[in-house]
Chain A
Amino acid sequence: MSAGTESSPKNMSGDAKSSEQAANNVKKTISDKNNENTRADTVIKVKKTIPRKKQDLLKWYGWGYKDSMFTLNGDAAYFTGQRYAIGEKPLPHLKQWAYDNFRLVGDTQPKVPEPPTSFPESRLPGNVRQELEKIAPVSVEGMDRLIRAHGQTLKDISCLRGNSFPRIPDAVVWPDSHGQVEQIVQCASRHRFVIIPFGGGTSVSGAITCPVKEKRPIVVLDTSEMNSILWLDKEQLLARVQAGIVGQDLEREMRARGFTVGHEPDSYEFSTLGGWVATRASGMKKNTYGNIEDLVVQTKMVTPRGVIEKSCRVPRISCGPEWEHVIMGSEGCFGVVTEVTIKIRPLPPVTRYGSLVFPDWESGFYFEWEVARQRLQPSSIRLMDNEQFRFGQALKTESSWGGVLLEGLKRLYITRIKGFDPTKLCVVTLLMEGTAEQVDEREKKLNSIAAQFGGVPAGAGNGERGYTLTFVIAYLRDVGMDYDVVAESFETSVPWDRTLSLCRNVKRRVREECEKRNIAHHLISCRLTQTYDAGCCIYFYFAHNTAQCTDPVATYEEIEEAARNEIIASGGSISHHHGVGKLRKKWYTDTVSEPGRLLLLAAKKALDPDNIFGVGNMVFGEDGGEDTLVKSKL
């Protein structure tokens, strides 16, 4: 009887094929645009949270979901929508805080922009567009192009609200597989157009902003359709995932199966795996799960010169310089990351929050350092300065009288009995994961170290609020802009020995710059968000009222530049995890040294000699060579 079964429905013609036919089939399958996907039956299709028409769900003129925003023009401030824990609850203290700090009176109507109706003409020639359409869906619609013309820097948002981008992409293309990306890149090489890889659009370095002087057509390659989990290995705790998957989708799928990737940058609701790789991202819980460079086992990138990928999936290799690290942080200048093999971990049985109060920044800082020295960091450990602590208080929702009473007692204990000065005290928030035993033990140890530095446990509630607010804070800038307040954050990494002075110097410098410009109402605050053996990551928040400024964005940028100069002079870095992009070009060469710069140029020449990926980040200018403009400035 029959012993012949066919390996796949594709070969199910029932007739044996001649070798010639088979040879043709082979050719066909190789060039098959879905090559890998058609072959693999282990692909997990992931439901996308964010639709292709992003503007249907997301705010076109700012951060996040359309239905989620701060409103101030009611009796009390509140945050709309049910997506976040503070949603739809009055925030009775926020208005006062806004007034105290920025003289912001939220009585007027917010200045919400109208969606633009006219856009620059697409420069993509019709024949090229048709060719692209044969590969994957293409759009030249203005709105589609506009919302993919930018990241989330202050300048981006300001241009967006004013529809004043000097250059927006000429088309958007949505490939859904590695094979399609290869075809698109080949098409670009043939027709000499520029490709800008686009993931979630959350870049805060200007990395995806269109180079202004680019004469060639610019096509945004939106990776969001590449969001399948190609395979999942529960034994080895690995997953092969298409690079366009959005953080929250990836995490949801993994959690549904009892796993977690554990990579949670503040943007993870919207940013993509490929974006994390391209920017060398860092997540809140890196202490347990690692930064992106620790999570990635392997990447596959399409460059104009071909596909770069290691031929083996090994835990470590001694084989000359690690090219994974050329791909990581390449900021879209060398190619498109299409697939990534990442580590996954079993979901921890227990997640516990905690908080500690310290009398001042310095004692909190030494606590953090000691914890790092003993390598006892829980998944997340963050130190907030006093300004942030008070802002956190301002974002408190009204709670039941029992809660209020308890809070009152706690405050009483901390300020009166322990004698902490409310205008100086700082808070450490903790996120601990593991088995109940592990978490108990860790908490005990942390508390005892805290005690050495004068810290007092302040309960899980404060800790938890700190973390749930993480994702909400990004919405603040939009409401600020509605009322003429600009706000932005910038970060750095710094060795332990220089941290205290760096924070002091930067804050002082920012204040001086504001005074110089007669900006009376501003806020500069910082927190310590990540710790390592050799140092930490500091995050600064800066906001000011722009009433006095003729060009608020330019003013802000001048101040940020001054702050960055101060950071670098104080021994900090160009960036801990936001990347160089266009914003921080001017400090790149000094950071990596001249040979380092040459090395980067050589990599570009090797992988993308025609500057197809002409997005112009780091040292690259409009022509793919070095950015002469930046150089002459230095």
Chain B
Amino acid sequence: MTKKTLIKMSETSKFIDILEPRKGECGVFRFMSKAWYPKRTQTLDKINTPQDIKDAAAASLYMEAIIEAESSKTGASKESLRQEVLQHIEEIALDKKMHVIRWTGIVALKVAFKMNIGIYVNEPAVLKVKSTMGNNPVLFLPTHRSYADFCILTYLCYHYDIELPAVAAGTDFYSMAVIGQLLREMCAFYIRRTLAGAPLYAATLKQYVRTLVAKHAAPIEFFLEGTRSRSNKSLPPKYGMLSMSLMPLFARELADVTVVPVNISYDRLMEQRPYAYELLGVPKPKETTKGLIKWISSLNGHFGNMYINFGDPISVQEYLKQIPYSDESLKPIELQTLSPEQFSQVQDVADYVVGQQQANSVATISNLLALVLMESLMTQRALPYEEVLVEVERMIKVLRSLGATVFEDDVRKNVDRVLVVQDKSWTLDKDRRLRIISSEVIDVTDELKNKMKGHTLKAETMVNAIPIIQVQMYVNPMLHYLVPSALISVIVQRGPHTRDELARHYRRLRKLLRHEFFHTEKTEEKTFQDAFEYCVSNDVVGVCGEQVSVGGSEGARLRALLARAVWPALTSLLLCADVCTELQTIEQNQALKLVQKRAESGPYHPYCLSLDSATHCLQGLVLAGALTREKQ
């Protein structure tokens, strides 16, 4: 058995392709049918079956109290409410059928081979997490960039003999024929996207998740970002699911909960084209089983690698140090809910975890190549192959100096590999210059027009924008390394500033872009400090006494790179500000349309057409107090 191993800078990271050992004849079947004794997350007196957990949730004092309250509020009979709760639990709850898991594993592995996928896992990090398991519940909190995220950790856990995680999935899967049930039997549980207007459902979900965390001996996996990030960069976290999961800790039902940030990066996102369309406002089709089968059968070719990195396990108890007293503890333990202070602690944990997901991201050759490609697109100069390699090396240096983990062993080999993986998007022309492949012509039918979420873009705009947005999609995950320095650089380019002024402008911009470039407020002081030092030492800016001004020629290329990094976002922000200033009061959807319309009509970066960015910028303006939001 040969193992493709790659040694990285840090001694604690060692990325290994866990699919490699399966590639032999009948390796798949034997592996998927092996006797399996997984490591559990907690040692409980009794191993609870999925049914036990459902029963415990349904029979809880909390559900009883909710039914009483609901019945007194609406007059509905308690019996009918009890039935309703049972239905909700059936809708939500996971099941576990090992034979289903094993057979699905076989099929999935076959598909994976067809797709030529590699799953690179930071093995020491996984083993470290595994070694700390056994004392309390563990939450796996991965980034969410692709549907592939759903199965990947389950397979990883099977591989490393860790009890299969209970995975939170959206109800769009639940409604899919066969697949919904299949995923459920592979330990998925379903949650609705919105809880508004369904208090009984909300309460049932709350109780189920709480019970699951406390009584299930397997990791609980959910996506803090709440949805696949279409832009391939971190979304600000949602707090609901984490609140529910940490409730047993806040109620002191448990002494601790371990949280594991997980980063999953892709050489190529399977959904990159639909994402690009969605960013422009073309809605995604509804998930159907038929669509899925069609899609799977189209998955021939080279999809490249995915890289899974586990962050250090975080003891929530240790992280929070002190959980403030709340008079909630005077309630029966099962009825205890989060106090406002505790909720803000949950927010703190969530923000921190998203930061850790970023910190554990892996810069892949796709990202580096995208950075190079974007630069060549902006300077409108297609780079010859050899120059591309040099530029990629340069990007590696820049990113490493900014603290990124770069996954590479042999640049040339990997660039060649990625060009195969991305052969539908990026290619070398006959002169061996790197170019993007323009998108197929889009037929903007009336039906499509009606469906479009934003402004009705011209077919031409979309054709031009799609390939560039797809490049930006791979630039985006790198931006959190670049943005702090980039903001310093662009502020200083407007004229000399004192350090204090610079810091003030920086803070304001960071706030305005908080949703576009998510970051934790807590560490901002240090981030600014580091970025400033970086800028100074790389000649991006120069310091003369109190004054900070533009640096010398040595930093010119870096300044250009940095400026490009934040250019689309700053443009979007400006467009949003313009639109809102002119109209005073406007519906959010209308504002988004107008921003998109302007972005289309002007000489702007095509990424400014992204509804995602525009939404984030509007939120930033609200956050900064420039806009106020009124609910209608």
**Hey, which bits of chain A sit against chain B, CB under 8 A?**
1-9, 11-13, 15-23, 25-26, 29-30, 36, 39-46, 231-236, 238, 240, 257, 298, 309, 311-313, 341
Contact = CB atoms under 8 A, between A and B. Distances in A.
B61 A1 contact: no
A313 B330 contact: yes
Interface bin, chain B: 35 or more
A45 B340 contact: no
A5 B169 CA distance: 11
Contacts of B196: 9, 12
Interface of B: 61-62, 64-66, 68-69, 72-73, 144, 147, 150, 168-170, 172-173, 191-197, 199, 202-203, 205-206, 222-228, 235-241, 243-244, 325, 327, 329-332, 335, 337-341, 343-344, 347-348, 351, 511, 514-515, 520-522, 619, 623, 629
A25 B514 CA distance: 18
A493 B173 CA distance: 71
Contact of A45 (B72, B343, B514): B72
Given A18-B623, A240-B331, A26 B236 contact: no
Nearest to A1: B170
Given A9-B197, A20-B623, A39-B337, 11 more contacts: A3-B169, A4-B225, A4-B227, A4-B237, A4-B240, A9-B195, A12-B196, A16-B235, A46-B72, A231-B332, A313-B330
A155 B346 CA distance: 59
B623 A5 contact: no
Contact of B347 (A19, A42, A298): A19
B623 A1 contact: no
A3 B144 contact: yes
B244 A7 contact: yes
B55 to A, nearest CB: 16
Contact of A18 (B173, B337, B514): B514
A43 B335 CA distance: 11
A31 B77 CA distance: 35
Contacts of B170: 1-3
B515 A42 contact: no
Nearest to A2: B170
Contact of B238 (A16, A231, A234, A298): A16
Contacts of A234: 61, 64
A19 B520 contact: yes
Nearest to A46: B72
Contact of B330 (A8, A13, A298): A298
Q: 7 smallest A-B Cβ distances: which pairs?
A: A4-B226, A4-B238, A16-B236, A1-B170, A3-B222, A3-B223, A6-B240
Contact of B331 (A26, A30, A46, A231): A231
Contacts of B168: 3
B223 to A, nearest CB: 4
A608 B173 CA distance: 61
Contacts of A2: 170, 191, 193, 223, 226-227
A497 B508 CA distance: 83
Contacts of A20: 511, 521, 623
Residue among A21, A42, A240 facing the most chain B CB atoms (10 A cut-off): A42
B521 A3 contact: no
A15 B61 contact: no
Nearest to A311: B325
A6 B259 CA distance: 19
A500 B440 CA distance: 107
A12 B194 CA distance: 8
A23 B522 CA distance: 12
A5 B243 CA distance: 9
A11 B240 contact: yes
Contact of B62 (A17, A26, A42): A42
Nearest to B623: A18
A39 B341 CA distance: 12
A49 to B, nearest CB: 15
A40 B325 contact: no
Contact of B335 (A9, A18, A233): A233
25 contacts: A1-B172, A3-B168, A3-B222, A3-B238, A4-B223, A4-B240, A5-B193, A5-B244, A7-B239, A16-B515, A19-B344, A19-B351, A26-B340, A42-B69, A46-B72, A231-B65, A231-B331, A231-B335, A233-B61, A234-B64, A238-B332, A311-B329, A312-B329, A312-B330, A313-B329
Contacts of B343: 7, 22, 26
A5 B344 contact: no
Given A7-B244, A233-B332, A44 B623 contact: no
A236 B64 CA distance: 13
Given A6-B195, A7-B244, A29 B340 contact: yes
Contacts of A3: 144, 168-170, 191, 222-226, 238, 241
